[in-house]
Amino acid sequence: MIKNFLISLFICIFILFGQTYESFAQKAPYKVGALLDLTEFGAPAGNDEKDALLLEVEKINKEGGINGQPIELVIENSASHPTKAVSGLTKLVTQDKVVAVIGPSIGNTIAAVLPMAEKLTVPVLSLSPITPEATRKAYKWTFRMPQSDVIVVEKIIDYLKTKKYSRVVVFHDNQEWGYGAGAELERQGAKSGIQVFKADVFDNRDVDMTPQLIKIQKDVKEKNIQAMVLYGPGFVAGVIAKNMKQLGMTLPVVGNHAMAMQPTLMVGGEAVNGFVFPSGKIIVKDELDDKDPQKKVIIDFANRFKAKYNREPTTFAGHAYDGIYILANALRTSGGNRGKLRDVIEKTRNFIGIDGIFTFSPKDHDGLTKEALIWVLIKGGQFTLLKE
Contact 187, 217 (CB under 8 A): no
- pLDDT at 13 (0 to 100): 44
Write phi, then psi, for 327 (nearest 5 degrees).
Answer: -65, -45
Secondary structure (DSSP) of 11-57 = HHHHHHHHHHHHHHHHHPPEEEEEEE--SGGGHHHHHHHHHHHHHHH
Give all domains of the chain, ordered by start, each with its CATH number.
29-149+291-369 (3.40.50.2300), 150-287+374-386 (3.40.50.2300)
- pLDDT at 359 (0 to 100): 98
Sequence-ordered alpha helix ranges (H) in 81-169: 82-94, 107-120, 132-137, 149-162
- pLDDT at 126 (0 to 100): 97
Secondary structure (DSSP) of 224-261 = T--EEEEES-HHHHHHHHHHHHHHT----EE--GGG-S
- 3-class DSSP state of 189: helix
Give the closest residue to 145 by CA, choosing from 380, 378, 316, 363. Answer: 316
- pLDDT at 175 (0 to 100): 86
Query: What are the mean pLDDT values of the chain's consecutive 10-residue runs (388 residues total)?
Result: 49 45 61 97 93 98 97 98 97 98 94 96 94 82 93 96 98 90 96 97 92 97 97 91 97 94 92 96 96 98 98 95 98 97 98 98 94 96 90
- pLDDT at 202 (0 to 100): 94
Give the closest residue to 357 by CA, choosing from 380, 349, 202, 201. Answer: 349
- pLDDT at 140 (0 to 100): 96
